[in-house]
Structure 1
Amino acid sequence: MCIGAVTYICYIFSFLYPVKYVVYTMSAVLGIGAAFIWTGQGNYLIINTPIEKMSRNSGIFWATSQLSMIIGTTIIYFLFSGMETVNTKTRVLVISILSGIALFSFILFVSLPGSVRQDDISTNKEDKPGPIEVLRGAGRLFRTKHILLLCVAFLYGGLELAFFSGVYGSSVGFTLQLHDSKSLIGLCGILIGCGEVLGGILFGVFGAYTSKIGRSTIVIFGCILHLATYALVFVNLPNNSPFGDTRDEAIITSSAAIAAACGFCLGFADACFNNQFYTSIGTNYPNNSASVFAIFRFVQSIGGFIGFMYSTHLIMYGNLGLLSISAVIGTICFVVSEKVEVNEEEAVRYRNKMGNGSS
């Protein structure tokens, strides 16, 4: 987590005197750091959470992490309001705010205590897996039926992440039939964050109740909400809105209220999926969470990469069609995975063999 935080700080500072190739290079470094920090955070969450409180703590973690979407977007919305280009003074102010937060976070990471959960085998320093062992454990787990099913759901998580974080807001801004469409980009970003945070709070505060409902039920609800939202986007935005400013009409008269509501629903449904991903990993793989989180971030990042690649070449209806199909397939795979017996013992035995030097 500390190494990941350092890459965020370096990325932010690269904008002090922005040079195109330096920013591109630091973006790639940031991608590596993000993998470190998200895998580390997920593992740390699990090894410090009793299994019966996994849903609650996952919800709290998700809600607090997604607050950044609300706070950050709000700050940028007001600082950049009315600007055609960002002046140096405003740019330095934004960099100062972000770098201050990142440095403070780095200090918090350094000061975090170790695992407090007694049932985690990695609390014993002699049994603690090294990076190579975790990677091999991920490879072994990747071949199991349960993980393969989860990976299909993880892949959809990456695809819809690319849509709501990159495609949707831009498409709303390009739809000139909407009044003051450019300002709606920031509003949609804030409402996506509100949906994410509300979802996290509900799964956190009412974790005991949502656990009784079952992970599959919550994911199915998230899928239905996503499909309904895609349908609203389908009728509310023009088909060529992902490509640039357009005055084309949608199926209905484009509505700012519907566009904003869709942003909130995209965020809330995403929280439904991701909270259950975290809970499933923590519940089923308490002793191999680092390996499974590595798989989770790897597959979800591939989904995000694919989503960003095709989104700039596909009309809106094509984007929505692919997302709808993958939502259904991903949800089915997640539901089936909940009924598959999890075999974590193989990875645990492998770790013990490595620790004893017999492999």
Structure 2
Amino acid sequence: MTPAGKNLMNIIILGFGFMFIFTAFQTCGNIEQTVIKNFNNTEFHGSGYTSMAIIYGVFSASNLMAPSVVAVVGPQLSMFGSGLLYSGYIAVFIRPLTWSFYTASVVVGIAAAVLWTAQGNLLAINSTDSTIGRNSGIFWALLQFSLLFGNLYIYLAWHGKTTISDKDRQTVFISLTVISLVGTFLFFLIQRLDTEATTREGGSSDTCEPLLPADPTEGSLTLSITKEMLLLSTSIAYTGLELTFYSGVYGTCIGAMTRFGDDAKGLIGLSGICIGLGEILGGGLFGMLNKCYSCGRNLVVLLGLLTHYLAFFLIFLNIANDAPIASQDGTHLEAYITPSVTVALLCSFLLGLGDSCFNTQLLSIVGYVFRENSAPAFAIFKFIQSISAAVAFFYSNYLVLHWQLLIMALVGFLGTITFFVAELVVAATRRDSDYSSI
């Protein structure tokens, strides 16, 4: 197999590994608050929102040391070990205890930092300046298939159920644990690159090398204050806020809407499927459009913002304001229109489509600008994204729907503007580089 073919195969294997792990983990995140509300054990006092806030808070702090782990252990073993810890978190729900639930939340936060830093490093290693956009799109599309399979299973398993029994919970989480382990072991299929052979075949001198500074933590701090990363930070923070919303809050809102009838719990799975369809469409299509650099990326990010604004407006009209914090019995309130399942699922699709617009372009520009320091750069990316997600999961325990939508709308607007400015800086730097090489 040629080096280019090996690179592409590694990206595909990477995508499938993440697809299996996050089929389990994202499905877990989507349903855990609903599952906890239906858990018949007076000794358990956990909160799904609080758990996710802990995960993303620890995730953000752990990104400071994650490049060092990846540098010492290597990206392949780093992802394998992290995948095992993800599986452990999911397995906790088979028989949840408060102490094990929150302990696992801390552990998986550390694992997430290592996993995503290693992923960004491997993506950069197996890409060139000309293929980083394509590879980002392929990886993102494969990753988002996770939203289809897990949530389809939830819909079929919970269709018509008004409460989730202990047997229902155990069956689901045993299955999700096995799925996560399958994805973890797939990482062993990733092949090491023969850089000498790659060079002999030519055309790969722009390969994004797996370079790490002597002190990766220092490298992360240095990159974090570069002009490009400071400009991109607001866009990255926005992806953390809306990640919280579509992966945990919106599904809970749909499940709490008693006006959707006895099928409200099953609709959580359908909502996740629609989010996944939007993510896959966006990853497959928009990941290819950044070949024209600033023009392509700017247009896709603008489309993502407009798509999210439409989704936010329809959710504002369709979902009751108290749905995110409703009790086990749900909410009997209406918003401004008669609650519509069709509108709710359309909003799920739009949330996924808009998310893919932002993430594919951010992955592309970070991989392009910081290709020689990919692990520290992606560690910063995940640090910013995860700390904003932690904040959002924390306030989701207390804020009603309208305030959450307003926060996302404001940060999304600022993030889009700063992304445009970052693209101008990158384009200007590239022109200067081309000019100086003449």
TM-score range, shorter chain: 0.7 to 0.9
CA distance in 2: counterparts of 1:76 and 1:185, whole angstroms: 8
Tell me which residue corresponds to 2:238. 156
One of 56, 66, 85 as aligned partner of 1:7: 85
Identity %: 39
Question: What is the Cα deviation at residue 14 of structure 1?
Answer: 3.1
The answer to whether the 8 A contact 1:60-1:203 is kept is no
1:218 and 2:296 are equivalent in the alignment: no
Count the aligned residue pairs: 337
**How far did residue 173 of structure 1 move?**
2.1
Partner of 1:256: 341
1:59 equivalent in alignment to 2:137: yes
Q: What is aligned with 2:353?
A: 268
Correspondence for 1:196:
279
Letter paired with 1:325:
L
8 Å CA contact retained: 1:59, 1:207: no
Contact conserved, 1:120 with 1:287, CA < 8 A, in 2?
no
The answer to whether structure 1 residue 19 and structure 2 residue 100 are counterparts is no
1:267-299 per-position Cα deviation (integer Å, ceiling 9, x unaligned): 000000000011001111111111110001110
Give the TM-score taking structure 2 as reference length: 0.71
Alignment of 1:80-99 (within 5 A): 80-81=158-159, 82=161, 84-88=163-167, 90-91=168-169, 93-99=171-177
When the two structures are superposed, what TM-score results if normalisation uses the length of structure 1? 0.86
Q: Which residue of 2 aligns with 1:184?
A: 267
Deviation at 1:23, TM superposition (A): 2.1
Q: Relative to structure 1, is the Cα distance of residues 22 and 45 closer, same or farther in structure 2, using a 3 angstrom cutoff? A: same
Deviation at 1:119, TM superposition (A): 4.0
Shift of 1:103: 3.0
Deviation at 1:51, TM superposition (A): 1.3
Structural RMSD (CA): 2.4
SS in 2 for 1:247: coil
Q: Which runs of 5+ in 2 are unaligned?
A: 1-78, 196-203, 430-438
1:198–1:268 Cα contact (<8 Å) kept: yes
* Rounded Cα–Cα distance in structure 2 between residues aligned with 1:112 and 1:48: 11
Residue of structure 1 in register with 2:434 after alignment: none
Point out the more displaced range, 270-279 or 184-193: 184-193
In 1, Cα distance between equivalents of 2:162 and 2:209:
52
Give the whole-Å Cα distance in 1 for the aligned partners of 2:248 and 2:229: 28
**Taking structure 1 as reference, are residues 257 and 16 closer, same or farther at Cα in structure 2, changes over 3 Å only?**
closer
Q: Deviations over 1:202-245 (max 9, x none)?
A: 135x4476758511111011001111111111111222222212
Task: Give the partner amino acid of 2:367.
Answer: G
Query: Can you give the 5+ residue segments of structure 1 that lack an aligned partner in the other structure?
Result: 345-359
Matching of residue 336 in structure 1 with residue 421 in structure 2: yes
Structure-2 residue corresponding to 1:351: none
Q: Is 1:41 equivalent to 2:119 in the alignment?
A: yes
Q: CA deviation at 1:13?
A: 3.4
Cα distance in 1 between the residues matched to 2:248 and 2:292: 30
CA distance in 1, matches of 2:335, 2:93: 38
Query: Structure 1 residues 47 and 234, CA, compared in 2 at 3 Å: closer, same or farther?
Result: same
8 A Cα contact 2:85 2:107, kept in partner:
yes
Distance 2:393 2:361 in 1: 24
**How far off is 1:37 after superposition?**
1.0
